Structure 1
Amino acid sequence: MSASIFNENGAVRTDAGTMTGQAAGITIGVTGHRPNRLPAGWESALAPALGALLDQVRPQGGFELLTGLAAGTDSAAARAARDRVGRVHAVLPFPAAVYAEDFAQSAERDTFDALLAEADRVTELPGTRDRAQAAYAALGAYLVRHADLLLAVWDGQAGRGPGGTADVIDHMLKAGRPVLHLRPGAPASEATLLHLAPGQTPPHVTERPVASLSPADFQALLSASAGT
């Protein structure tokens, strides 16, 4: 499947296919750790766990996944979304040829190339290597602006700078939208939903087991966040 490639403003830069407009349903952003902060065996366990969470929250209208396609969480989520016929929107912090330098191992580069080729849409943000931290922060900001719900694989540790997992979660919650939180190595049954109740501000956050929530509960949270 070929993708249409867009710049940050949505203008077509290179058209290798056709676009059919915005996806129906909801937009789910993903953030999370790279392989160096994931447990051994993550390659076989993470995509199924993320897929199980997607099964719980995806509406009948379908979903679009926003992913930076980094090795680890991002790539696992893209595979899980594709297995569920979700639309994959790759949002890259740099032009693709520059971003490819992030993938030093040949297996990781092969995975990136394959997922990029399969993406339904690609947005290249205008990041540069001499301002790499700002580029990753811009990617995080894009996710927060466009996602209805954030899927986060996070070890609970303090953030390591702008654009990191903890930073994106913090901004998503402050924007009034919910976060599905899965700890690295945990099964989907242990995931929790984070959101701010009226009057709350981080670090005071409402946390509820995802397994206890019905589709109606998710819809109510998404409807409430849509008005923020």
Structure 2
Amino acid sequence: MTIVGFTGHQSLSAPTVGLVVSALRAELAEVGEPLVGICSLAVGADQLFAREVLRCRGSLRVVVPSAGYRTTFADDDRPEYDRLLARAQQHRVLAYPTPSEEAYLAAGHAIVDSSDVLLAVWDGAPAAGLGGTGDIVAYARARGIETRVVWPVGAGRV
């Protein structure tokens, strides 16, 4: 069993979504079975990853950064978060009372600490806030976790 952790940008341009999905499919096909994916289900790349793990018949684990995390999603985004969370084989809520950058950083660390390999949909830029994709990639690399960056040619952020 290989546990694949995930981190990635939330704001991807429309053309980038298709590019990223194709790249994630290729990466996950290399992992083999049984596949376990772990992420926080943030809008954007996290949810693309979660859907691909499930499409590959893998099992999904979710690290929820805090109590009230669901309230950070726009009304239109909550149904997909709820649907994916309901399909997770397991999930745990970290002991942060409210969403915060510290909670997001702790969630990213928990994902890395539980993973054999980290996939990152990352443009290579530093994190915009504490716990962003760049921070999680740096943490994984410092811990010696194999990190595979997915940023297809032509990809862009909104």
Q: Same fold (TM over 0.5)?
A: yes
Letter in structure 2 aligned against 1:59:
G
The 3-state SS of whatever aligns with 1:75 is helix
Secondary structure of 1:41's counterpart equals helix
TM-score by length of 2: 0.90
For the residue of structure 1 that corresponds to 2:125, the secondary structure is coil
Task: Select which of 91, 110, 132 maps to 1:142.
Answer: 110
**Separation of aligned partners in 1, 2:81 and 2:15:** 19
Counterparts in 2 of 1:159-178, with a 5 A limit?
159-178=127-146
Residue identity opposite 1:41 in structure 2: P
Which residue does the alignment assign to 1:41? 15
Unaligned runs of 5+ in 2: none
* Structure of higher RCO (CA pairs closer than 8 Å, 6+ residues apart): 2
Query: Are 1:113 and 2:85 counterparts?
Result: no
Amino acid at match of 2:32: P
Residues 32 and 73 of structure 1 are in contact (CA less than 8 Å); yes or no, is this contact kept in structure 2?
yes
User: Is 1:65 paired with 2:37?
Assistant: yes
Alpha-carbon deviations, 1:198-226, whole Å to 9, x = none?
xxxxxxxxxxxxxxxxxxxxxxxxxxxxx
Tell me the residue number matched to 2:94. 125
1:153 matched to 2:121? The reply is yes
TM-score by length of 1: 0.63
Structure 1 distance, partners of 2:46, 2:152, is 13
What percent identity do the matched residue pairs reach? 32
CA contact (8 A) 1:128 1:135 kept: no
In structure 2, C-alpha distance between the alignment counterparts of 1:142 and 1:186, rounded to whole Å: 31
Query: For 1:1-228, what aligned pairs fall within 5 Å after superposition?
Result: 25-35=1-11, 38-56=12-30, 58-60=31-33, 62-95=34-67, 98-106=68-76, 108-129=77-98, 132-183=100-151
Structure whose CA Rg is larger: 1
Counterpart secondary structure, 1:47: helix
Number of residue pairs aligned between Structure 1 and Structure 2: 155
